[in-house]
Homo-oligomer: A and B are copies of this chain.
Amino acid sequence: MYLEKINSPSDVKKLSIEQLKVLAEEMRAALIQKLSVHGGHCGPNLGMVEATIALHYVFDSPKDKIVFDVSHQSYCHKMLTGRKDAFLYSEHYDDVTGYSCPEESEHDFFTVGHTSTSLSLACGLAKARDLKGGKENIIAVIGDGSLSGGEALEGLDFAGEMTTNFIAVINDNDMSIAENHGGMYKNLRLLRDTDGKAECNLFKAMGLDYVFVKDGNDIEALIKAFEQVKDSAAPVAVHIVTEKGKGLSFAEKNKEKWHWAAPFDPETGEPKYPWGGEDYSSVTADYLLKKMKADKKVCAITSATPTVFGFTSDKRAEAGAQFIDVGIAEEHAVAMASGMAKGGAKPFYGVYSTFLQRTYDQLSQDLCINSNPAVISVFAASVYGMTDVTHLGIYDIPMLSNIPNMVYIAPTTKEEYLAVLDWAMEQTEHPVAIRIPGGEMVSDGKTVTKDFGILNKYEMTRSGSKVAVIALGTFYDMGVKAAELIEKNTGVKPTIINPYYITGIDAEMLESLKNEHDVVITLEDGILDGGFGEKIARFYGGTKVKTLNFGLKKEFLDRYDPSAVLRENHLTPEQITEDVCKVILNTV
């Protein structure tokens, strides 16, 4: 096996073309084996086997620097740069992250996981090289799906004005996570159909030279193209056409489903741990589809991740023109939603917390200054969300809740979520964001009659004394459990409050708590800095009421165990009780 002997790119360079082809098959087999056991990004990596080999055959990493966009397609790069064991031996599977990682290897330059960043980051490496008088090649590898992101287009435009070496490898598999959306994809198709010869050419229009590789899974053709552009003194786009999921029949057939996959049976493609239950995604899709049928003005928007809120391809077809995938373009999604709301439609945008941060200015400027009634559901906004450092969902409260006019609400159950959604979609005064609770969906069957149009009105779910527990969203149940434990341990029966509103305080209720309460504690499923609890601490700052804020420390976590993180942050009912008791002893 050649792969076992590859310890660095120099070992790749020693092989003949025929041997490289065998290496490619070995890599593909290793990928499929690991992915079937471990899960991960299937389609992107299976398509990039040959191109990664060719890159390392032609260029001299790490002197020449390769920057992978999103870097979910960097598994093959890891295999060829000293990290093959993490793909060959199951006991080493977790030695590497799923993205590029400078701590792992000198061949990786950035920790990234969001799309559309490679061109700009690589431009930075190129500019640093030029200032220092270096001569190395700088290569950005970016998929066609990522190209629609504003940051990528800004980077492409900037690169097109450079007058030194810069190589953009455009990995065109004619797919984003789902199908591509955007006018530029007509041009990519034209280029594919004309073997790159069409005069109208997005890359040339952006100022870059252009090379086309018809079969981006043909090692020889790739090597030839890369050798042609190596050491070029002008920016050049190398447009390679690859097959997403190549070599895994299910992944070739259903490219969307196999973009990322949980562990599966490599023979049948069936998931090892099937999931068919109801969750906030399916609940959202079902709600919206029903609403769409009753009202032609209702429209759901995704930025290239439709299944985040349950819109699998069959449901997209059912929704028709009432479902819009803007491609990877979060900024456009929010600004367009604002425009749609202004125009009298009822737009809904479903998005992961981590990707919502790609559109802060549009939230503030295009949406909130204009107070247009668009609705945003924020998914995976929780310590129980994605755990890669690049995909965390614990920062959206400070980001979103401090923008004026935004109404950010945290329901705690399925019933509350649907009630908030129902109100939000029909009201016409506020931009509304809804923070989907993390962890398993709680459904208690209760009817929710609250009028969410009376902003910032908290709900006291149990009246007590001495201690009040204000427990937001996901952590409401933890607040209830802590209150029970406090009562058990001290005899003090705490008041419990479901605040719902992240973006404002219920001054009247907080004021009234002063009479019978010495300590107010807050719980929130996100970092404390800039968050919800600090607003309560500020409110009571000049009074005798003491406050304790429970939430997460401001830090970048990576591939963490949520239970461990909660313990470290004193976020168990026992720890909360202990901390509260300390304060009570000094107070009561």
User: A377 CB to closest chain B CB, in angstroms?
Assistant: 18
Chain B: which residue is nearest A188 at the CB level?
B205
The answer, yes or no, to whether A296 is at the interface (CB within 8 Å) is yes
User: A64 CB to closest chain B CB, in angstroms?
Assistant: 13
Give the residue of B114, B121, B206 whose beta carbon is less than 8 angstroms from that of A187.
Answer: B206
The answer, yes or no, to whether A546 is at the interface (CB within 8 Å) is yes
**How many A residues face the partner with a CB closer than 8 A?**
123
Report the bound CA distance from A528 to B534 in whole Å: 10
Report the bound CA distance from A347 to B130 in whole Å: 13
B-facing residues in A14-38 (Cβ within 8 Å) = none
The answer, yes or no, to whether A127 is at the interface (CB within 8 Å) is yes
List the one stretch of A152-160, A305-313, A564-572 in contact with chain B. A152-160
List the one stretch of A363-371, A418-426, A447-455, A493-501 in contact with chain B. A363-371
Give the residue of B342, B401, B582 whose beta carbon is less than 8 angstroms from that of A529.
Answer: B401
**Are B148 and A157 neighbours in the complex by a CB distance under 8 Å?**
yes
Report the bound CA distance from A159 to B336 in whole Å: 11
The answer, yes or no, to whether A335 is at the interface (CB within 8 Å) is yes
Report the bound CA distance from A554 to B133 in whole Å: 48
* A110, A121, A535, A543 pick with most chain B CB within 10 angstroms: A121
List the one stretch of A82-90, A214-222, A354-362, A378-386 in contact with chain B. A354-362
The answer, yes or no, to whether A576 is at the interface (CB within 8 Å) is no
**Are B128 and A364 neighbours in the complex by a CB distance under 8 Å?**
no
Cβ of A554: which chain B residues have Cβ within 8 Å of it? 402, 404
* A111, A322, A541 pick with most chain B CB within 10 angstroms: A541
Cβ of A185: which chain B residues have Cβ within 8 Å of it? 161, 207
Cβ of A342: which chain B residues have Cβ within 8 Å of it? 109-110, 121, 124-125, 128
Give the residue of B110, B202, B324 whose beta carbon is less than 8 angstroms from that of A205.
Answer: B202
**Are A154 and B158 neighbours in the complex by a CB distance under 8 Å?**
no
**Are B153 and A338 neighbours in the complex by a CB distance under 8 Å?**
no
Chain B: which residue is nearest A125 at the CB level?
B343
The answer, yes or no, to whether A542 is at the interface (CB within 8 Å) is yes
**Are B154 and A150 neighbours in the complex by a CB distance under 8 Å?**
yes
Chain B: which residue is nearest A540 at the CB level?
B541
**With A339-B127, A345-B131, A546-B543 known to touch, is A117 a contact of B362 (CB < 8 Å)?**
yes
In the complex, the 7 A-B pairs of residues with the closest C-beta atoms, listed nearest first = A160-B183, A124-B339, A150-B150, A183-B207, A128-B343, A120-B335, A199-B199
Known: A111-B370, A158-B327, A541-B549. 16 other contacts (CB 8 A): A109-B342, A120-B336, A124-B341, A126-B343, A128-B340, A151-B335, A157-B184, A158-B336, A160-B184, A161-B181, A187-B205, A358-B361, A369-B389, A399-B399, A401-B530, A538-B549
